[in-house]
Structure 1
């Protein structure tokens, strides 16, 4: 696999201050880059959008190494497209957020803090003081506006979901976990669940509640795995001769925790349940 490349001359703007960008626009702009293009041609393609917002999308994609900008800042080209070339935009976006170095790694760390509540959901008023306490090393002040930006971006990517009664549900969409488990199997020729989940945590987003002893999958992540299992899309097995096991906590499907080692994926269902959020709704943006 090719080495990850960091873009040059990246904008200094704090990522979480791009509060007008949305995943739908970012995806549309990124997927319009079949080859090198000028900034003006991209802006023209999305003429019904405010020009400043399109330029903000280009700037954000540049900031997380999804695109490179030429020396005169007029030409835009895709970057790191040979990293996991068949990976969907949503998972690729999360991968790029995970690769960012301090201080541009703050967006990916919010989910880490949210999962530390050990709950399946969290409201922003509960999350905010935790973020302020644990992520106080950044040169900006955390507030609810910033968390709303993270929530909107993460919801559209399928990392979390939102309800009126429970706030932010910390479970990713089924398609995201399916794609990453499938990619790990293809990359490593292995269906070892502990190794796959460790790889996901290192490269995309946190999945474990604890990693000492027998690693325990966070309930919000485990719920999705067990939902997929109940739908016969994923098989999870415990093998006595396996070296590493992970613990899945109790859920609506099981009344007690259990240890598993390996997984098998069935064919991806042709169902809205196994689509990314952006694919479930008609896009507002047209090119």
Structure 2
């Protein structure tokens, strides 16, 4: 350790060290002499530890033109963490061996392993392509062809005109039953259970639509009635106010002011619902 009293090293005797520290309080500081002594001893890297970078500037002035590296761990007006990391980077580039393990301790990866016993509230979140890699494990050769031919119909090749399709087959002739009545083909028979179910569903849907329209009409009728009543109340209030003002001024027997007379239909406003019967 170098002393700013004379720029030399501290003595090894503890008593002399205490005397040297006491002399620092009353003697001038020879900072440049201490820097020159360290440079003569082979020191080329100077690290300023403390607030600000004033001493680093003094070192630059003292060793101007000579090979050296001055690094300050703090600079006024700059973020302290940023300046500290920049200083470490400059030292690492200069070849100074550093241990950065302490810097990475707060950024250690968290434990992402799943618990051995899953909670009952655990819900898996996955995409639609989960466990569906593309391309397939067998590669593109395992994928189906882009323009594959349709499957062969029984009795011939695809598109064979010799094999009639269901749409081209001749209609089925009526069959005579043992009782003498002629049975119609399936397409001409009465509607089956599926048609009945479909008709019932349609009926329910129309009934629900009718109820929705009725409620909508009633709500709209109530809105119109409320707007009419509020407007009438406003006009009556304005009429009463002006009649009172005229009586106060006493300008003669002027007829009362009438703004608005409600029509008869306004008090009985209703919405008519004409819906066809369903079912």
TM-score by length of 1: 0.21
> Which is richer in strand?
1
* Greater relative contact order (CA < 8 Å, ≥ 6 in sequence): 1
Which has the higher Rg, Structure 1 or Structure 2? 2
